[in-house]
Structure 1
Amino acid sequence: MTTPPSDALLFEVPAPLTPIERLLVLADQYTRHNDAIDYPNLSSPRAPIRARTPTPRSAWPTRP
């Protein structure tokens, strides 16, 4: 089997990231993951939980 000429490739493959670039990508993913855990409503476009859910009501009246 022969090797195809370099201009006849089916698609272009980007150059691999350098170790520093890979470390920066990993740090970004780690930070986004931790932020999603710490601030779950920060990334969602929905309203805050307090605005979405009604206040729980007691079945019995409370004393003043």
Structure 2
Amino acid sequence: MDAKHGQSQSKIQDKLEATEMWFLRRMLRIPWTAKKTNERVLNEANKRRSLVRTMRKRLATFLGPRDEA
């Protein structure tokens, strides 16, 4: 895996985490002017970040066992 590929993966992960936080803020009806940190929003929702973890788990299930040869 080259550096360019790894960099794009981290950008995608950052965007997915931002999207997850946007969803939570919308569900809790927190306005953007409230200036609440992501940690505080997660505490109010009694949640942990899980979107990226769930996507990786489902992708691994879909692809099945893979050899790292």
| TM-score when normalising by structure 2 | 0.32
Q: Give the structure, 1 or 2, with the largest relative contact order (CA under 8 Å, sep 6 or more).
A: 2
| TM-score when normalising by structure 1 | 0.35
**Higher share in helix:** 2
Larger Rg: 1
